[in-house]
Chain A
Protein backbone atom coordinates (compact mmCIF):
# COMPACT_ATOMS: atom_id res chain seq x y z
CA UNK A 1 0.00 0.00 0.00
CA UNK A 2 2.76 2.38 0.98
CA UNK A 3 4.66 1.31 -2.11
CA UNK A 4 1.71 2.15 -4.35
CA UNK A 5 1.31 5.51 -2.64
CA UNK A 6 4.98 6.28 -3.21
CA UNK A 7 4.79 5.33 -6.88
CA UNK A 8 1.73 7.55 -7.26
CA UNK A 9 3.53 10.59 -5.85
CA UNK A 10 6.68 9.88 -7.87
CA UNK A 11 4.65 9.76 -11.07
CA UNK A 12 2.81 12.94 -10.19
CA UNK A 13 6.06 14.80 -9.53
CA UNK A 14 7.55 13.52 -12.78
CA UNK A 15 4.47 14.55 -14.79
CA UNK A 16 4.49 17.98 -13.18
CA UNK A 17 8.18 18.31 -13.97
CA UNK A 18 7.76 17.21 -17.58
CA UNK A 19 4.76 19.44 -18.26
CA UNK A 20 6.16 22.57 -16.64
CA UNK A 21 9.35 22.20 -18.66
CA UNK A 22 7.64 21.37 -22.00
CA UNK A 23 5.24 24.28 -21.68
CA UNK A 24 8.18 26.58 -20.90
CA UNK A 25 6.71 27.49 -17.53
CA UNK A 26 10.33 27.31 -16.40
CA UNK A 27 13.43 27.82 -18.45
CA UNK A 28 14.12 24.56 -20.34
CA UNK A 29 17.83 25.07 -19.94
CA UNK A 30 17.57 25.24 -16.15
CA UNK A 31 15.05 22.43 -15.91
CA UNK A 32 15.25 20.08 -18.89
CA UNK A 33 12.15 17.88 -19.30
CA UNK A 34 12.26 14.56 -17.45
CA UNK A 35 12.04 12.55 -20.65
CA UNK A 36 15.21 14.17 -21.94
CA UNK A 37 17.01 13.56 -18.64
CA UNK A 38 15.90 9.92 -18.62
CA UNK A 39 17.08 9.39 -22.17
CA UNK A 40 20.45 10.94 -21.38
CA UNK A 41 20.71 8.99 -18.15
CA UNK A 42 20.35 5.65 -19.92
CA UNK A 43 22.80 6.70 -22.59
CA UNK A 44 25.38 7.98 -20.11
CA UNK A 45 25.02 4.98 -17.82
CA UNK A 46 25.55 2.33 -20.46
CA UNK A 47 27.63 3.97 -23.14
CA UNK A 48 29.06 7.07 -21.56
CA UNK A 49 31.06 8.19 -18.64
CA UNK A 50 28.47 8.00 -15.84
CA UNK A 51 28.37 4.20 -15.50
CA UNK A 52 32.06 4.05 -14.71
CA UNK A 53 31.80 6.87 -12.20
CA UNK A 54 28.89 5.21 -10.40
CA UNK A 55 30.80 1.93 -10.19
CA UNK A 56 33.82 3.76 -8.81
CA UNK A 57 31.78 5.45 -6.08
CA UNK A 58 29.90 2.27 -5.17
CA UNK A 59 33.10 0.24 -5.06
CA UNK A 60 34.66 2.73 -2.67
CA UNK A 61 31.65 2.95 -0.39
CA UNK A 62 31.17 -0.83 -0.21
CA UNK A 63 34.85 -1.39 0.53
CA UNK A 64 34.76 1.36 3.16
CA UNK A 65 31.65 -0.01 4.86
CA UNK A 66 33.12 -3.53 4.96
CA UNK A 67 36.37 -2.22 6.44
CA UNK A 68 34.46 -0.22 9.06
CA UNK A 69 32.35 -3.26 9.90
CA UNK A 70 35.47 -5.34 10.51
CA UNK A 71 37.13 -2.58 12.49
CA UNK A 72 34.04 -1.87 14.60
CA UNK A 73 33.64 -5.59 15.38
CA UNK A 74 37.24 -5.84 16.56
CA UNK A 75 36.86 -2.68 18.66
CA UNK A 76 33.60 -3.96 20.17
CA UNK A 77 35.28 -7.27 21.05
CA UNK A 78 38.13 -5.47 22.76
CA UNK A 79 35.58 -3.41 24.68
CA UNK A 80 33.90 -6.58 25.93
CA UNK A 81 37.24 -7.81 27.22
CA UNK A 82 38.36 -4.63 28.93
CA UNK A 83 36.47 -1.89 30.75
CA UNK A 84 39.39 0.51 30.23
CA UNK A 85 39.27 0.09 26.46
CA UNK A 86 35.50 0.49 26.52
CA UNK A 87 35.84 3.75 28.39
CA UNK A 88 38.47 5.01 25.94
CA UNK A 89 36.44 3.98 22.89
CA UNK A 90 33.30 5.58 24.17
CA UNK A 91 35.23 8.82 24.72
CA UNK A 92 36.56 8.61 21.14
CA UNK A 93 33.02 8.04 19.85
CA UNK A 94 31.82 11.10 21.73
CA UNK A 95 34.53 13.20 20.10
CA UNK A 96 34.34 11.92 16.52
CA UNK A 97 30.68 10.97 16.12
CA UNK A 98 29.46 14.58 15.73
CA UNK A 99 32.35 15.53 13.42
CA UNK A 100 31.33 15.62 9.72
CA UNK A 101 33.94 13.88 7.57
CA UNK A 102 34.01 16.74 5.11
CA UNK A 103 35.22 19.04 7.91
CA UNK A 104 38.44 17.06 8.35
CA UNK A 105 38.95 16.56 4.64
CA UNK A 106 41.42 19.48 4.27
CA UNK A 107 43.43 18.12 7.17
CA UNK A 108 43.46 14.63 5.63
CA UNK A 109 44.61 16.14 2.34
CA UNK A 110 47.50 17.88 4.05
CA UNK A 111 48.47 14.73 5.90
CA UNK A 112 48.00 12.05 3.30
CA UNK A 113 47.79 13.80 -0.06
CA UNK A 114 45.04 13.04 -2.54
CA UNK A 115 44.04 9.55 -3.62
CA UNK A 116 41.71 6.63 -3.04
CA UNK A 117 43.12 6.14 0.45
CA UNK A 118 41.80 9.47 1.62
CA UNK A 119 38.33 8.57 0.27
CA UNK A 120 38.39 5.34 2.22
CA UNK A 121 39.49 7.20 5.35
CA UNK A 122 36.55 9.52 4.89
CA UNK A 123 34.06 6.65 4.50
CA UNK A 124 35.50 4.74 7.43
CA UNK A 125 35.21 7.87 9.54
CA UNK A 126 31.55 8.17 8.51
CA UNK A 127 30.65 4.57 9.36
CA UNK A 128 32.98 3.62 12.19
CA UNK A 129 31.81 5.92 14.96
CA UNK A 130 28.05 5.48 14.72
CA UNK A 131 28.50 1.75 14.18
CA UNK A 132 30.83 1.33 17.16
CA UNK A 133 28.56 3.45 19.36
CA UNK A 134 25.60 1.28 18.41
CA UNK A 135 27.48 -1.98 18.96
CA UNK A 136 28.58 -0.86 22.42
CA UNK A 137 25.02 0.08 23.37
CA UNK A 138 23.83 -3.21 21.85
CA UNK A 139 26.21 -5.33 23.92
CA UNK A 140 25.31 -3.37 27.03
CA UNK A 141 21.60 -3.95 26.47
CA UNK A 142 21.69 -7.71 25.99
CA UNK A 143 18.99 -8.98 28.38
CA UNK A 144 20.49 -10.71 31.40
CA UNK A 145 18.17 -13.71 30.91
CA UNK A 146 19.92 -14.62 27.64
CA UNK A 147 23.39 -14.38 29.12
CA UNK A 148 22.37 -16.32 32.22
CA UNK A 149 20.75 -19.02 30.12
CA UNK A 150 24.00 -19.45 28.20
CA UNK A 151 25.88 -19.59 31.49
CA UNK A 152 23.33 -21.95 33.03
CA UNK A 153 23.72 -24.60 30.31
CA UNK A 154 27.48 -24.27 30.66
CA UNK A 155 28.36 -22.49 27.40
CA UNK A 156 31.86 -21.02 27.35
CA UNK A 157 32.11 -17.21 27.05
CA UNK A 158 33.12 -17.61 23.38
CA UNK A 159 30.12 -19.82 22.60
CA UNK A 160 27.85 -17.52 24.53
CA UNK A 161 29.09 -14.68 22.34
CA UNK A 162 28.72 -16.60 19.07
CA UNK A 163 25.43 -18.34 19.74
CA UNK A 164 23.57 -15.89 21.93
CA UNK A 165 24.98 -12.39 22.29
CA UNK A 166 25.68 -11.59 18.63
CA UNK A 167 22.06 -12.23 17.66
CA UNK A 168 20.85 -10.09 20.50
CA UNK A 169 22.91 -7.19 19.13
CA UNK A 170 21.47 -7.51 15.59
CA UNK A 171 18.96 -4.60 15.81
CA UNK A 172 21.73 -2.27 16.96
CA UNK A 173 24.09 -3.52 14.25
CA UNK A 174 21.58 -2.86 11.46
CA UNK A 175 20.72 0.58 12.87
CA UNK A 176 24.41 1.48 13.10
CA UNK A 177 25.13 0.35 9.53
CA UNK A 178 22.17 2.34 8.30
CA UNK A 179 23.27 5.59 9.90
CA UNK A 180 26.89 4.94 8.92
CA UNK A 181 26.12 4.20 5.28
CA UNK A 182 24.10 7.40 4.98
CA UNK A 183 26.90 9.50 6.38
CA UNK A 184 29.59 7.81 4.32
CA UNK A 185 27.66 8.15 1.07
CA UNK A 186 27.02 11.86 1.63
CA UNK A 187 30.65 12.48 2.61
CA UNK A 188 31.89 10.60 -0.43
CA UNK A 189 29.77 12.58 -2.90
CA UNK A 190 30.92 15.79 -1.25
CA UNK A 191 34.56 14.80 -1.33
CA UNK A 192 34.35 13.80 -4.98
CA UNK A 193 33.19 17.32 -5.75
CA UNK A 194 36.10 18.83 -3.83
CA UNK A 195 38.55 16.63 -5.67
CA UNK A 196 36.78 17.48 -8.93
CA UNK A 197 38.46 20.85 -8.69
CA UNK A 198 41.90 19.33 -8.61
CA UNK A 199 40.70 16.70 -11.01
CA UNK A 200 42.27 13.44 -9.92
CA UNK A 201 39.66 10.95 -8.72
CA UNK A 202 36.27 10.39 -10.36
CA UNK A 203 32.93 9.30 -8.97
CA UNK A 204 29.34 10.49 -9.26
CA UNK A 205 30.09 13.67 -7.35
CA UNK A 206 32.94 14.45 -9.72
CA UNK A 207 30.67 13.73 -12.69
CA UNK A 208 28.06 16.20 -11.45
CA UNK A 209 30.67 18.80 -10.70
CA UNK A 210 32.42 18.67 -14.07
CA UNK A 211 29.12 18.78 -15.92
CA UNK A 212 28.22 21.92 -14.03
CA UNK A 213 31.49 23.37 -15.30
CA UNK A 214 30.45 22.48 -18.89
CA UNK A 215 27.01 23.93 -18.14
CA UNK A 216 25.44 20.58 -19.10
CA UNK A 217 22.36 20.68 -16.89
CA UNK A 218 20.83 17.52 -18.36
CA UNK A 219 23.89 15.53 -17.28
CA UNK A 220 23.84 17.15 -13.85
CA UNK A 221 20.27 15.93 -13.44
CA UNK A 222 21.29 12.44 -14.57
CA UNK A 223 23.90 12.32 -11.83
CA UNK A 224 21.47 13.54 -9.19
CA UNK A 225 18.88 10.95 -10.18
CA UNK A 226 21.45 8.17 -9.99
CA UNK A 227 22.28 9.26 -6.43
CA UNK A 228 18.59 9.27 -5.47
CA UNK A 229 18.01 5.82 -6.99
CA UNK A 230 21.04 4.33 -5.25
CA UNK A 231 19.86 5.82 -1.95
CA UNK A 232 16.41 4.28 -2.36
CA UNK A 233 17.81 0.88 -3.36
CA UNK A 234 20.16 0.72 -0.38
CA UNK A 235 17.34 1.74 1.94
CA UNK A 236 15.21 -1.07 0.49
CA UNK A 237 18.07 -3.51 1.01
CA UNK A 238 18.24 -2.55 4.67
CA UNK A 239 14.48 -2.99 5.00
CA UNK A 240 14.67 -6.39 3.39
CA UNK A 241 17.46 -7.38 5.79
CA UNK A 242 15.42 -6.21 8.77
CA UNK A 243 12.28 -7.91 7.54
CA UNK A 244 14.10 -11.23 7.38
CA UNK A 245 15.88 -10.90 10.70
CA UNK A 246 14.96 -8.56 13.52
CA UNK A 247 11.37 -7.91 12.42
CA UNK A 248 10.75 -11.62 11.85
CA UNK A 249 12.14 -12.33 15.31
CA UNK A 250 9.95 -9.66 16.91
CA UNK A 251 13.00 -7.69 18.04
CA UNK A 252 12.17 -4.49 16.15
CA UNK A 253 9.25 -2.95 14.29
CA UNK A 254 9.03 -2.64 10.56
CA UNK A 255 10.44 0.71 9.48
Chain B
Protein backbone atom coordinates (compact mmCIF):
# COMPACT_ATOMS: atom_id res chain seq x y z
CA UNK B 1 0.00 0.00 0.00
CA UNK B 2 2.72 2.42 1.03
CA UNK B 3 4.77 1.86 -2.08
CA UNK B 4 1.93 3.11 -4.24
CA UNK B 5 1.39 6.38 -2.43
CA UNK B 6 2.64 9.49 -4.21
CA UNK B 7 2.78 11.46 -0.99
CA UNK B 8 3.19 9.87 2.43
CA UNK B 9 2.79 12.14 5.40
CA UNK B 10 4.20 10.08 8.25
CA UNK B 11 3.61 11.09 11.87
CA UNK B 12 4.20 14.79 11.36
CA UNK B 13 4.28 16.94 14.49
CA UNK B 14 5.15 20.60 14.69
CA UNK B 15 5.01 23.20 17.41
CA UNK B 16 5.93 26.86 17.49
CA UNK B 17 7.22 28.89 20.36
CA UNK B 18 5.45 32.18 20.78
CA UNK B 19 6.19 34.52 23.71
CA UNK B 20 7.41 31.63 25.79
CA UNK B 21 4.28 29.58 25.15
CA UNK B 22 4.55 26.31 23.30
CA UNK B 23 1.91 26.14 20.58
CA UNK B 24 1.21 22.70 19.25
CA UNK B 25 0.25 23.25 15.64
CA UNK B 26 0.31 19.74 14.25
CA UNK B 27 0.09 16.57 16.24
CA UNK B 28 1.06 13.24 14.76
CA UNK B 29 -0.53 13.63 11.32
CA UNK B 30 -0.35 10.69 8.92
CA UNK B 31 -1.98 10.55 5.50
CA UNK B 32 -1.19 8.63 2.32
CA UNK B 33 -2.17 10.20 -0.98
CA UNK B 34 -2.29 8.16 -4.15
CA UNK B 35 -0.94 9.19 -7.50
CA UNK B 36 -3.37 11.53 -9.27
CA UNK B 37 -5.60 11.91 -6.26
CA UNK B 38 -7.14 15.27 -5.31
CA UNK B 39 -7.26 15.56 -1.53
CA UNK B 40 -8.79 18.49 0.31
CA UNK B 41 -7.66 19.45 3.78
CA UNK B 42 -10.50 21.11 5.62
CA UNK B 43 -10.38 22.88 8.93
CA UNK B 44 -10.98 26.04 10.90
CA UNK B 45 -8.62 28.98 10.54
CA UNK B 46 -5.50 28.47 12.58
CA UNK B 47 -5.78 24.69 12.78
CA UNK B 48 -2.37 24.21 11.16
CA UNK B 49 -3.44 23.26 7.64
CA UNK B 50 -1.15 25.81 6.02
CA UNK B 51 1.76 24.66 8.15
CA UNK B 52 1.13 21.09 7.05
CA UNK B 53 1.27 22.17 3.41
CA UNK B 54 4.48 24.11 3.95
CA UNK B 55 6.01 21.04 5.58
CA UNK B 56 5.03 18.89 2.61
CA UNK B 57 6.71 21.46 0.35
CA UNK B 58 9.81 21.23 2.60
CA UNK B 59 9.65 24.98 3.14
CA UNK B 60 9.31 24.19 6.82
CA UNK B 61 10.87 21.32 8.79
CA UNK B 62 8.70 19.18 11.09
CA UNK B 63 9.69 18.41 14.68
CA UNK B 64 8.83 14.77 14.20
CA UNK B 65 7.89 12.58 11.27
CA UNK B 66 8.80 12.71 7.62
CA UNK B 67 7.43 13.35 4.15
CA UNK B 68 7.89 10.88 1.32
CA UNK B 69 7.27 11.94 -2.26
CA UNK B 70 7.13 9.07 -4.72
CA UNK B 71 8.82 6.90 -2.11
CA UNK B 72 11.73 9.27 -1.53
CA UNK B 73 12.25 11.43 1.54
CA UNK B 74 11.47 15.04 0.67
CA UNK B 75 13.58 17.33 2.79
CA UNK B 76 14.66 20.12 0.46
CA UNK B 77 12.29 22.16 -1.68
CA UNK B 78 12.39 21.46 -5.40
CA UNK B 79 10.19 21.77 -8.45
CA UNK B 80 8.63 18.32 -7.97
CA UNK B 81 6.45 19.78 -5.23
CA UNK B 82 5.05 23.23 -5.95
CA UNK B 83 3.18 25.35 -3.44
CA UNK B 84 0.61 27.86 -4.64
CA UNK B 85 -0.72 30.32 -2.11
CA UNK B 86 -3.60 32.69 -1.60
CA UNK B 87 -1.57 35.86 -2.26
CA UNK B 88 -2.58 37.55 -5.53
CA UNK B 89 0.90 38.99 -5.79
CA UNK B 90 2.90 35.80 -6.00
CA UNK B 91 3.82 36.37 -9.64
CA UNK B 92 7.00 38.38 -10.18
CA UNK B 93 5.78 41.89 -11.06
CA UNK B 94 8.77 42.77 -13.26
CA UNK B 95 8.14 39.92 -15.66
CA UNK B 96 5.40 39.74 -18.25
CA UNK B 97 2.89 36.94 -17.65
CA UNK B 98 4.54 34.71 -20.26
CA UNK B 99 8.00 35.30 -18.79
CA UNK B 100 6.73 34.49 -15.32
CA UNK B 101 6.33 30.99 -16.73
CA UNK B 102 9.34 30.93 -19.06
CA UNK B 103 11.76 32.00 -16.34
CA UNK B 104 11.19 29.12 -13.89
CA UNK B 105 11.15 26.64 -16.77
CA UNK B 106 14.61 27.77 -17.84
CA UNK B 107 15.99 28.47 -14.36
CA UNK B 108 15.18 24.91 -13.27
CA UNK B 109 16.48 23.57 -16.59
CA UNK B 110 13.12 21.91 -17.13
CA UNK B 111 13.13 23.41 -20.63
CA UNK B 112 16.36 25.25 -21.43
CA UNK B 113 15.49 26.35 -24.94
CA UNK B 114 13.84 29.77 -24.85
CA UNK B 115 11.57 29.14 -27.80
CA UNK B 116 10.37 25.79 -26.50
CA UNK B 117 9.80 27.25 -23.05
CA UNK B 118 7.75 30.05 -24.53
CA UNK B 119 5.65 27.61 -26.52
CA UNK B 120 4.97 25.63 -23.39
CA UNK B 121 4.07 28.80 -21.49
CA UNK B 122 1.61 29.93 -24.15
CA UNK B 123 0.07 26.47 -24.24
CA UNK B 124 -0.59 26.56 -20.50
CA UNK B 125 -1.82 30.13 -20.55
CA UNK B 126 -4.41 29.16 -23.11
CA UNK B 127 -5.36 26.15 -20.97
CA UNK B 128 -6.18 28.47 -18.07
CA UNK B 129 -8.00 30.90 -20.34
CA UNK B 130 -5.39 33.65 -20.54
CA UNK B 131 -4.46 33.38 -24.22
CA UNK B 132 -4.53 37.08 -25.01
CA UNK B 133 -2.73 38.20 -21.87
CA UNK B 134 0.75 36.77 -22.24
CA UNK B 135 2.38 40.18 -22.76
CA UNK B 136 0.68 41.89 -19.84
CA UNK B 137 2.42 42.63 -16.58
CA UNK B 138 0.84 41.03 -13.49
CA UNK B 139 -0.38 44.34 -12.05
CA UNK B 140 -2.48 44.87 -15.16
CA UNK B 141 -4.56 41.74 -14.46
CA UNK B 142 -7.38 41.12 -12.00
CA UNK B 143 -6.94 38.94 -8.93
CA UNK B 144 -8.64 35.95 -10.56
CA UNK B 145 -6.50 36.25 -13.68
CA UNK B 146 -3.34 36.41 -11.61
CA UNK B 147 -4.35 33.21 -9.82
CA UNK B 148 -5.02 31.54 -13.18
CA UNK B 149 -1.53 32.56 -14.27
CA UNK B 150 -0.09 31.23 -11.01
CA UNK B 151 -1.80 27.88 -11.68
CA UNK B 152 -0.33 27.84 -15.19
CA UNK B 153 3.11 28.68 -13.83
CA UNK B 154 2.94 25.87 -11.26
CA UNK B 155 1.71 23.27 -13.75
CA UNK B 156 4.24 24.23 -16.43
CA UNK B 157 6.95 22.73 -14.23
CA UNK B 158 5.09 19.40 -14.33
CA UNK B 159 5.37 18.83 -10.59
CA UNK B 160 4.52 15.44 -9.16
CA UNK B 161 2.60 17.18 -6.41
CA UNK B 162 0.71 20.46 -6.44
CA UNK B 163 -0.06 22.06 -3.10
CA UNK B 164 -2.70 24.76 -2.98
CA UNK B 165 -3.27 26.88 0.10
CA UNK B 166 -6.70 28.49 -0.23
CA UNK B 167 -5.77 29.88 -3.64
CA UNK B 168 -9.24 31.29 -4.28
CA UNK B 169 -10.13 32.47 -0.78
CA UNK B 170 -9.85 36.16 -1.64
CA UNK B 171 -11.85 35.95 -4.89
CA UNK B 172 -15.49 36.77 -5.52
CA UNK B 173 -17.99 33.88 -5.60
CA UNK B 174 -18.46 33.67 -9.36
CA UNK B 175 -14.75 33.72 -10.15
CA UNK B 176 -14.07 31.24 -7.39
CA UNK B 177 -16.59 28.76 -8.80
CA UNK B 178 -15.13 29.09 -12.29
CA UNK B 179 -11.63 28.55 -11.01
CA UNK B 180 -12.63 25.50 -8.97
CA UNK B 181 -13.86 23.78 -12.10
CA UNK B 182 -10.80 24.87 -14.04
CA UNK B 183 -8.35 23.63 -11.43
CA UNK B 184 -10.16 20.34 -10.96
CA UNK B 185 -10.13 19.61 -14.69
CA UNK B 186 -6.62 20.77 -15.37
CA UNK B 187 -5.18 18.77 -12.46
CA UNK B 188 -6.95 15.70 -13.74
CA UNK B 189 -5.64 16.27 -17.27
CA UNK B 190 -2.08 16.66 -16.05
CA UNK B 191 -2.53 13.78 -13.65
CA UNK B 192 -0.95 15.78 -10.88
CA UNK B 193 -1.43 14.71 -7.27
CA UNK B 194 -3.03 17.61 -5.46
CA UNK B 195 -3.39 18.69 -1.86
CA UNK B 196 -5.85 21.54 -1.52
CA UNK B 197 -6.31 23.43 1.73
CA UNK B 198 -9.62 25.17 2.34
CA UNK B 199 -11.94 26.22 5.14
CA UNK B 200 -14.95 26.05 2.86
CA UNK B 201 -16.98 22.80 3.05
CA UNK B 202 -18.65 23.37 -0.33
CA UNK B 203 -15.26 23.80 -1.95
CA UNK B 204 -14.00 20.60 -0.37
CA UNK B 205 -17.05 18.62 -1.51
CA UNK B 206 -16.77 20.00 -5.04
CA UNK B 207 -13.07 19.31 -5.43
CA UNK B 208 -11.78 16.43 -3.37
CA UNK B 209 -11.74 12.68 -3.92
CA UNK B 210 -11.12 12.55 -0.23
CA UNK B 211 -11.42 15.16 2.47
CA UNK B 212 -9.11 15.33 5.45
CA UNK B 213 -10.89 17.01 8.34
CA UNK B 214 -8.74 18.76 10.91
CA UNK B 215 -9.86 19.44 14.47
CA UNK B 216 -10.11 22.76 16.20
CA UNK B 217 -7.53 22.00 18.86
CA UNK B 218 -3.90 21.03 18.80
CA UNK B 219 -3.84 20.43 15.06
CA UNK B 220 -5.09 16.92 15.37
CA UNK B 221 -6.61 15.15 12.40
CA UNK B 222 -10.22 14.25 13.10
CA UNK B 223 -10.71 11.90 10.21
CA UNK B 224 -10.51 11.26 6.50
CA UNK B 225 -13.79 11.25 4.61
CA UNK B 226 -14.20 9.58 1.25
CA UNK B 227 -16.15 12.10 -0.76
CA UNK B 228 -19.12 10.17 -2.15
CA UNK B 229 -20.51 13.32 -3.70
CA UNK B 230 -17.40 13.80 -5.79
CA UNK B 231 -18.27 14.95 -9.32
CA UNK B 232 -21.99 14.55 -8.67
CA UNK B 233 -22.98 18.19 -8.44
CA UNK B 234 -26.68 17.41 -9.08
CA UNK B 235 -27.21 14.92 -6.29
CA UNK B 236 -28.22 17.42 -3.67
CA UNK B 237 -29.15 14.82 -1.04
CA UNK B 238 -25.76 13.20 -1.27
CA UNK B 239 -24.03 16.54 -0.93
CA UNK B 240 -26.10 17.38 2.13
CA UNK B 241 -25.26 14.00 3.67
CA UNK B 242 -21.55 14.55 3.03
CA UNK B 243 -21.84 18.00 4.47
CA UNK B 244 -23.34 16.85 7.74
CA UNK B 245 -20.85 14.01 7.99
CA UNK B 246 -17.99 16.48 7.64
CA UNK B 247 -19.61 18.89 10.07
CA UNK B 248 -19.80 16.09 12.62
CA UNK B 249 -16.08 15.60 12.36
CA UNK B 250 -15.43 19.34 12.48
CA UNK B 251 -17.57 20.10 15.51
CA UNK B 252 -16.94 17.09 17.74
CA UNK B 253 -13.77 17.40 19.68
Binding site for B on A (CB under 8 A): 143, 145-146, 148-149, 151-155, 159, 163-164, 167, 170, 245, 248-251
Contacts and interface: CB of A to CB of B under 8 A. Distances in A.
A148 B83 contact: yes
Given A154-B77, A248-B137, A145 B59 contact: no
A250 B142 CA distance: 13
Interface in B32-90: 57, 59, 76-79, 81-83, 85, 87, 89-90
Given A151-B77, A153-B79, A250 B140 contact: yes
Residue among B76, B90, B94, B157 having the largest count of chain A Cβ atoms under 10 Å: B94
A27 to B, nearest CB: 56
10 contacts: A145-B89, A148-B59, A153-B82, A153-B104, A154-B77, A155-B107, A170-B94, A248-B137, A249-B94, A250-B138
Given A143-B89, A154-B77, A154-B79, A251 B59 contact: no
Given A146-B90, A152-B77, A245-B94, 4 more contacts: A149-B92, A153-B82, A154-B76, A154-B79
A155 B107 CA distance: 7
B93 to A, nearest CB: 5
Given A155-B107, A159-B107, A163-B107, A149 B138 contact: no
A44 to B, nearest CB: 44
A251 B107 CA distance: 23
A153 B157 contact: yes
B103 interface: yes
A145 B167 CA distance: 13
Interface in B148-189: 157
Nearest to B108: A153
A159 B104 CA distance: 11
A167 B77 contact: no
Given A152-B59, A153-B82, A164 B92 contact: yes
A163 B103 contact: yes
Interface residues of B, number: 25
Contacts of B57: 152
Q: Which secondary structure characterizes the binding site on chain B?
A: loop
Contacts of B107: 153, 155, 159, 163
A159 B107 CA distance: 9
A153 B78 contact: yes
Contact of A152 (B83, B92, B94, B138): B83
B83 A154 contact: no
B243 interface: no
Given A154-B77, A249-B139, A250-B138, A167 B89 contact: no
Contacts of B90: 145-146, 149
Contacts of A154: 76-79, 108
A182 B114 CA distance: 41
B94 A251 contact: yes
B59 A250 contact: no
B151 to A, nearest CB: 14
Contacts of B94: 167, 170, 245, 249, 251
A173 to B, nearest CB: 13
